[in-house]
Amino acid sequence: MRHLSLKWKFSAFIAILLLGTVGILSALVLGGVSSYQREQLEQDMARRVQSATTRITQQYVTGTRVDAATFMQLQGQSLAMELGAASGLRVVLFDAEGRKAGDSLPLVEDTGEADLLGYALQNRIAYATEGDTLDYYAPLTGTDGQLGVIRYQASISDQRAFYRQIVLLLTFVGIGVAIISIALGLIYMNRQAAAIAKLKAATDRIRRGDYSADAGLRRRDELGELSHGIDAMRRAIHVSLEALGAEKSNMAAALARLQQLEQQQKQFIGNVSHELKTPLTTIKAYADLLGMYEDDPDLMQDARTTIAKEADRLHDLLEMVLKLAALEKYEFNHQPERVDLQALLRDVAERMKGRTDKLGIALHADLQPAIVWADRESLMHIFVNLLDNAIKYNRPNGSITIGCRIAGNSAEVECRDTGIGIPTKLRERIFEPFYTVNKDRARQSGGSGLGLALVKQLVEKQQGTIVVCEAPEGGSCFVIALPLFREPSCT
Ligand code: ADP
């Protein structure tokens, strides 16, 4: 069921209030009018009775001396006619016993009130109105006491008409007030209702989750304050929800990252155990064979070489795993210093010279001077690893070029080879731990797939970057950018 709207309620309230006021005022006015009329009537009748009493007493004392009752019976009719003619009203006289003594209109039917007469006979005034007629009974008091009773019958139609007119007038006033108050109430409340509707629309928008618009009520009253309050609330909810949303997506991202890390960790542990198993199986196999053929010198020789090789492999592997784990989890021993990159790269190339010469690989160096701010040991590890890979994955009689130049705020080291190269789509994956493009080739060359993962971590620790780029003459090309050392400025 639809409720009565606020504007109708308000208008009805104002109308009822004003009608109540008009009603009370009308009752007071009508009461006043009616009591005024009664007073006037009583005064008028008292005056008439007074003059009638004077006339009758005068007749009684100046005429033949008879008792009051006889006087009334003898003179009553003529006195009634005289007083009736003088007043223009019907006058009826009674003696002190209540017997009718005279009537100014003897032929008109008389409907007198015995009760009122009884009162008047006890020397009291009594009157009653019936329709537009007033019946007024008053004692006639002479010098010797009560002579009788005089009764006036008068028309009060004028007074009644006046009273009815006032009632009509007040009724019109009441209806007018009701209509005007409802109309004014509606006009006034329409404006208020429009403002309230605006506020309601604003709260509806908030409920639907639309925080884009203000309530937009520019007023300096309570509704204006309410509008400000709603706007402030809308902004606060919006900010909280945005913060909550951001928090939620942060949490989701953190959770996803955590799950990814967990997955990576599991994979890492699986790979480590797998890589550890292979050399251990070989060592165990040789141990078993030696147990069976103790005196076989060839086997002994073979076992010594292989066990030493696998032990080295185990050692390298463990070292790499531990270093990687330390880099990821703990603050590792990182001591940046001013490093002459040109000299460092020359040193690394020198160390590799023996191996490249042995394999017939030409090693070229094109090194410009550059000073960087980095951990020297880490740099050594990075470039030894890169050159090691360039040798491992090269072709017979291939070449390696190591270059260094300055680009902006960085020193760029490029390591290019003429080897087997890396397929473009795998260029990102080779930095994942244990990832190898070709397992057999990696195994043959003693690789475990951890080298580049470690190199990338170490480069990032130096605030640098490493990328694989296109090698024009085939093969692979790695570019490492490291921040240049900046002399502290003297102030
Ligand atoms: P590995 O110990 O197997 O060499 P790395 O992490 O150093 O492990 O390298 C990961 C993989 O990237 C290698 O197995 C190899 O397939 C590929 N790779 C690395 N360097 C080169 C290169 N210079 N030329 C061709 N392939 C390379």
Ligand 1 centroid from CA 466, angstroms: 14
Give 439 Cα–ligand 1 centroid separation in angstroms: 10
- Please, are residues 135 and 113 in contact by the beta-carbon 8 Å criterion? yes
For the Cβ of 419 lying below 6 angstroms from any atom of ligand 1, the answer is: yes
Mutating to test ligand 1, I would choose from 313, 386, 389, 401 the residue with most ligand atoms within 8 A of its C-beta, which is 389
Q: Mean pLDDT, to the nearest integer, of 349-354?
A: 94
**pLDDT reading at 491 higher than 70:** no
Nearest residue to 454 (alpha-carbon basis) of 351, 338, 316? 316
Give 489's pLDDT tier (boundaries 50, 70, 90).
Answer: low
| 124-174 residue pLDDT tens | 999 998 888 899 999 998 877 888 999 999 999 988 899 999 999 999 988
**Confidence (pLDDT) at 265:** 83
Q: Which atom of ligand 1 is nearest to the CA of 447?
A: 2
* pLDDT exceeds cutoff 60 at 490: no
d(CA 275, CA 433): 12
259 CA to centre of ligand 1 in angstroms: 28
Q: How far is the CA of 394 from the centre of ligand 1 (A)?
A: 11
Residue 446 phi/psi, 5° resolution?
A: 75, 20
Binding site membership of 417 for ligand 1 (Cβ less than 6 Å)? yes
Instruction: Identify the pLDDT of residue 107.
Output: 84
Query: Could you give the CA distance from residue 416 to residue 478 in angstroms, rounded to a whole number?
Result: 7
Q: Is the CB of 476 under 6 A from ligand 1?
A: yes
Q: How far is the CA of 418 from the centre of ligand 1 (A)?
A: 14
267 vs 270: CA distance, rounded Å: 5
Q: What's the pLDDT tens digit per position in 406-463?
A: 999 999 999 999 999 999 999 999 999 888 888 777 777 777 888 999 999 999 999 9
Residue nearest to atom 25 of ligand 1 (CA): 421
pLDDT recorded at residue 304: 92
Ligand 1 contacts CB of residue 449 (under 6 A): yes
pLDDT of 477 strictly over 90: yes
Ligand 1 pocket: which of 313, 382, 384, 436 to mutate (most atoms within 8 A of CB) = 436
The CA 430 to ligand 1 mean position distance, Å, reads 7
pLDDT of residue 369: 96
Residue nearest to atom 16 of ligand 1 (CA): 437
Give the 3-state DSSP-derived string for the chain, with helices as H, strands as E and coil as C: CCCCCHHHHHHHHHHHHHHHHHHHHHHHHHHHHHHHHHHHHHHHHHHHHHHHHHHHHHHHHHCCCCCHHHHHHHHHHHHHHHHHHHHCCEEEEEECCCCEEEECCCCCCCCCCHHHHHHHHCCCCEEEEECCEEEEEEEEEECCEEEEEEEEEEECHHHHHHHHHHHHHHHHHHHHHHHHHHHHHHHHHHHHHHHHHHHHHHHHHHHCCCCCCCCCCCCCCHHHHHHHHHHHHHHHHHHHHHHHHHHHHHHHHHHHHHHHHHHHHHHHHHHHHHHHHHHHHHHHHHHHHHHHCCCCHHHHHHHHHHHHHHHHHHHHHHHHHHHHHHHHHCCCCCCEEEEEHHHHHHHHHHHHHHHHHHHCCEEEEEECCCEEEEEHHHHHHHHHHHHHHHHHCCCCCCEEEEEEEEECCEEEEEEEECCCCCCHHHCCHHHCCCCCCCHHHHHHCCCCCCHHHHHHHHHHHCCCEEEECCCCCCCCEEEEEEEECCCCCCC
Average pLDDT over residues 227-245: 92
Residues 331-340, mean pLDDT to the nearest whole number: 82
Q: Give residue 452's pLDDT.
A: 94
| Residue pLDDT, tens place only, 75-132 | 999 999 999 999 999 999 999 999 999 999 988 887 777 889 999 999 999 999 888 8
Long-range pairs of 47-50 with CB within 8 A, sequence gap ≥ 24 = 48/87, 48/89, 48/152, 49/125, 49/136, 49/138, 49/140, 49/150, 49/152
Closest ligand 1 atom number to CA of residue 450:
6
- Rounded distance from Cα 449 to ligand 1 centre (Å): 7
Ligand 1 centroid–CA 137 distance in Å is 141
Cα–Cα distance for residue pair 390/402, rounded to 1 Å:
10
Does pTM surpass 0.75? no
pLDDT at 5 over 80: no
Q: Which of 316, 393, 438, 450 to mutate to test the pocket of ligand 1 (most atoms within 8 A of CB)?
A: 393
Instruction: Name the token pair of 293.
Output: 């053929």
Rounded-to-integer distance, Cα 62 and Cα 414, Å: 162
Q: What is the pLDDT of residue 203?
A: 92
CA pair distance 414, 370, nearest whole angstrom: 13
- Answer yes or no: is the C-beta of 387 below 6 A from any ligand 1 atom: no
Ligand 1 atom 8: the closest Cα is on which residue? 449
Q: Which atom of ligand 1 is nearest to the CA of 433?
A: 6
β-bridge pairing 362-367 and 399-407 = parallel
Q: Is residue 331 very low, low, confident or very high in pLDDT (cuts 50, 70, 90)?
A: low
Q: What is the mean pLDDT of the chain?
A: 89
**Amino acid at residue number 364:** H
Q: For 195-203, what is the mean pLDDT?
A: 89
Read off the pLDDT band of 196 (50, 70, 90): confident
**CA 347–ligand 1 middle distance (angstroms):** 22
- What distance in angstroms lies between residue 9's CA and the mean position of ligand 1's atoms? 86
